[in-house]
A and B are shown apart, each in its own frame.
Chain A
Amino acid sequence: MIYGIRFVVKYLLGKDTAERNFAVYPDDTFIISYPRSGSTWSRFLVSNLLHPDIEVSFANIDELLPATSSRSRRALKRMPRPRIIKSHNYFDHRYRNVIYIVRDPRDVVLSEYRFILKGRGIEDNYPIDAFVARFLKGEVSTYGSWKQNVGTWIAARGGSERFLLLRYEDLVAKTAIELSKIAIFLGIETTPERLTQATERSSAENMRSLEKTQGDAWVVTKGRRKDVPFVGRATSGVWKSTLSEACIAQIEKVWGPLMSSLGYELVNAEFGNAVAPDVSLSKRLYKVQF
């Protein structure tokens, strides 16, 4: 009941968190990813591309490119359209224009572990294999499991013109090129100089130093452990040296077919697909426009 009254007051003021319950417009574009898959980085990249005159930081990122998990319904309603909004939600039919960033789940699980450690959801030395088991069941996040999140979007929208699928690993390896795909999708006119500038301003080093000075002010990091950084290693393939063989096998056994069709090489090939994904398939899937 007390929760009910609090909810009504928040609801009347439009101050309840947007999540899945806010008004969506057909001209909205969503940047979606499973948690710990580069969504904050991509928010910085896009914001730096759109606003070369503003210093993008943790202090203003929620204004520049808001997230459904941290903004209120009212705040989202007041944004000028067309809006660009970040979300971690699994498939939602109202989102017409979607940029989806997928990351190797073997790296996602390590990053998620660190993030939950930072939020004091688990203790230091919490066994990683127990965490992997919970991660596979989708129990560590309210956004479904990694496969449920990625799979529902690709099953519903894969191949559609209004769905741009990017891999975090490609974004790391060739940031400016991948950012240019986002620019084309958003209909932003840009130049190589601006792409490079946005990439540099959103570099892991820059974001790390911003986190140090502004971490206390940002809704996602404030009140959490300071000895565990939010901006992690920002690389791909950390799992190769960090995850045990058993954990790797566990993940590949459950999600192998989807992982290999996204181009992630499996250690245990028998868990992949009988049909090897070909290059043209990936090209079409990622809607490469060059």
Chain B
Amino acid sequence: MRIITGFKRALDLHSPGRNLDVFPDDVFVVSYPKSGNTWTRFLISNLVHPDEPANFGNINRLVPDPEALPKRVLNQIPRPRLVKSHQYFDPRYQKVVYVVRDPRDVAVSEYHFHRKRRLIPDGYPVDQFVRQFIAGTTTQYASWGENVGSWLVTRHHRPGFLLLRYEDMMQGTVGELAKVASFLGIEASQDRLIQAVERSSKEKMRELEKEQGHLWSSIKDTRQDVPFVRKAMAGGWRSDLPPQSVAQIEAAWSFLILYLGYELASEATKDKTEMRVRELLLGGPVR
């Protein structure tokens, strides 16, 4: 096994993941898993390539995923590249579109994605999953708070970093995509923006998933009865999460949740000292 891995590495046939060769002109589409990353990839791809509508067959070429493609292929993609990533802070990423989503919805979405990948059975206790989610053991990308916090503290309010909220993207997709266009230096007409949004709608993506789901490395060989493109909505946690799980998530990350403009539902014991510490770190014109 090690020999195979070793020779794959020598021939650059391995997927580099975090060890991707980064170029200074790369643009990264970063988010914690289950925070709208695939949707954002479709939106940006449809914006940048109006002549080639994005689908699950070509998205790995248009906005490549360093977890899914071999290093050799990644290094041959024409520059400047658009690269998908779930990584927490990496100093080499110079230009970053970071999509953040309410962690309570992320937990629900991650739960169903784990079911789809057969990592947990149907009926697995949600509260148990949420405890693992908070501890950061459900993904290889740290916990939600660690991932989001590592990017905000280093890059928020700096040039080369565009912070988008999934919820704002849901509400005003065209307007948020216009921000991406100007971040990328693309002069996009209203028509072009609207076309990109329509080509990336959840209806369209659901349809594409049905036809092409088996082609896409991220979901092939997973359960077909659990969809990848799920409800695509905000606030589902209110009905899907038990109150104690909501309280646990809010207690773990109260500062970040508030800082990002989400409201707390539970009477979480906000640790004011800790809040101050992080406020000092994140607040102000950080360069």
Contacts and interface: CB of A to CB of B under 8 A. Distances in A.
Interface of A: 1, 4-5, 7-8, 11-12, 20-21, 90-91, 93, 138, 144-145, 147-148, 151-152, 154-159, 253-254, 257-258, 260-261, 273-275, 277, 280-281, 284-285
A151 B273 contact: no
25 contacts: A4-B12, A5-B10, A8-B9, A11-B2, A11-B6, A12-B2, A12-B6, A144-B89, A144-B154, A152-B89, A152-B153, A154-B277, A154-B281, A156-B88, A157-B146, A158-B281, A159-B273, A159-B274, A257-B280, A257-B283, A257-B284, A273-B283, A275-B279, A281-B277, A284-B274
Contact of B277 (A12, A90, A138, A158): A158
Contacts of B142: 91, 93, 156
Nearest to A138: B91
Contacts of A280: 273
B150 A155 contact: yes
A153 to B, nearest CB: 9
Interface residues of B, number: 40
Interface string B145-188: 11001101110000000000000000000000000000000000
Interface string B263-287: 0000000010110111111111011
The DSSP consensus for interface residues of chain B is helix
A5 B284 CA distance: 49
A285 B281 CA distance: 13
Contact of A156 (B12, B149, B277): B149
Contacts of A253: 287
A273 B286 CA distance: 11
A148 B6 contact: no
A93 B281 contact: no
Contacts of B230: none
Max chain A Cβ within 10 angstroms of own Cβ: one of B7, B142, B146, B154: B154
B159 to A, nearest CB: 13
A12 B149 contact: no
Nearest to A3: B10
A90 B279 contact: no
B10 A285 contact: no
A89 B71 CA distance: 24
Contacts of B149: 152, 155-156
Contacts of B273: 159, 280-281, 284
Given A12-B2, A156-B149, A280-B273, A93 B10 contact: no
Contacts of B19: 21
Interface string B107-144: 00000000000000000000000000000100011110
A285 B141 CA distance: 25
A273 B153 contact: no
A91 B9 CA distance: 25
